[in-house]
Amino acid sequence: MVGGGPAGSRAAALLAKDWDVAVLEEHQESGRPVQCTGLVSPRVLEMAGVRQTPLNVLHGAEIEFPGGRRIAVSSPEPKAVVIDRADFDRQLAERAMDAGAEFFYGRRYLSRRWEGRSRIHYREDGQVGEECARLLVGADGHGSKVAMEAGDPRPREWVRGLQVDLPIADGSDTVEIHVGSETAPGFFAWRLPCGDFTRVGLCVGWDHGPPADYLRAFLKKLSLEDVKPLDKHCGKIPLGGRGRTYGDGVLLVGDAAGQVKPVSGGGLFPGLTSARCLAAVAGEALREDRCDAASLKAYERMWRKELGKELARGYRLRRVFLRMSDEDMAKASAMVDRPDVQRLLNSGDIDRPSDLAAPLLRKVPGLLRFSPRLVSAMVMR
């Protein structure tokens, strides 16, 4: 297993019950550096088997569109929780160790040669070492080296993110989202109440350069530019998926496999879901001693059955979003600013946002004007 992040640790925990599992992690611990906002559905904590009191529980969101219109969605049920991501990753790694997986921190994966078994080369303390494995799992994140070697050099696109934690206590239950080309071109910005502090950040599309200037401007817009941050995180999110997530003796999972929700950039729910699929297929392949690509293909079928439709529809939605000008977004926000539409939006699930697309278009057919071809394709499939 390459990568001791959430996807790798979860797959390791499931596989280590029956198999010898070694996890190569280039950092000295799991969970650091943090590259995440920590906003997940409550089910993610359950799926991970992590016990943690969330930093905050959210019941809604307020979305600000270009022109200043705000649409609020809320529900009596908790819609999301804010997790301590470093602790989350640490606990996942501990679960895997408890199940018998061996973690090698400070060991950086370099390459592999497939000879019916994988000969894996790594670097540790300046020395190159070699290990042999029947199956290699690439859980090495958005810039996956394992995926590159498996012949799939990159996801369709990346967005770049930057966020700061500010010493402003905020226990409210609503996250603010801001969209528009001036604030966060190609994605969105957030102000997230985290209980004892406030997290402010954004992601921008790759073509728009580094996010630092946008974050400075966003902090100014919120009149927070003079507050000294407690912490700062940055990172990349792969969007649009990868062509293939298996090969001879190799499987990809999590960000390495492009298993990320394209609308929100959330990767924890799809990564953990896919880790379960991976463990099922890998276990079977190891039992039968058949780890060739044809035998491992079942993994791709299995995770796509669970997530493929959502990720594909989400990416089509993203393409519609990318084509919209600020003026289009302002017009669209005026169209959906109705109590009946709000009731529909309140029922949304952050792990399956595209489920709302078809009922939304039925209620507000005028939205079709923004991209009739793409939107209809999305609804039909």
State in angstroms the smallest separation of the CB of 371 from ligand FAD: 26
# of chain residues touching ligand FAD (CB under 6 A)? 37
φ, ψ dihedrals at 148, nearest 5°: -60, -45
The yes or no reply on residue 310 touching ligand FAD (CB under 6 A) is no
- Contact flag: residue 39 with ligand FAD (CB under 6 A): yes
Q: Quick check: 235 binds ligand FAD (CB under 6 A)?
A: yes
- Least gap, CB of 271 to ligand FAD (angstroms): 5
CB of 118 within 8 A of CB of 133?
Answer: yes
Is 211 a binding residue for ligand FAD by CB under 6 A? The answer is no
Name which position in 96, 179, 260, 344 contacts ligand FAD (CB under 6 A): 260
- Residue span 83-112 as binding mask against ligand FAD, x where in contact by CB under 6 A, dash where not: -------------------------xx---
Report the residue closest to ligand FAD, judged by CB.
267
Site for ligand FAD in 118-147 (CB under 6 A): 139-141, 145
Q: Minimum CB separation from ligand FAD for residue 366, in Å?
A: 31
Q: Tell whether residue 165 is a contact of ligand FAD (CB under 6 A).
A: no
Binding ligand FAD (rule: CB under 6 A), the pick from 12, 24, 58, 177 is: 24
Closest to ligand FAD by CB, 66 vs 201, is 201
Select 254 or 262, whichever has its Cβ closest to ligand FAD: 254
In the complex, the smallest distance separating the C-beta of residue 266 from ligand FAD, rounded to whole angstroms, is 3
Q: How far apart are CA 145 and CA 252, in angstroms?
A: 10
By C-beta, is 141 or 241 nearer to ligand FAD?
141
Among 54, 60, 161, 193, binds ligand FAD (CB under 6 A): 161
Complex with ligand FAD: residue 1 or 329, whichever CB lies closer: 1
**Contacting residues toward ligand FAD, per CB under 6 A:** 2-8, 24-27, 35-40, 108-109, 139-141, 145, 161, 163, 235-237, 254-256, 260, 265-268, 271
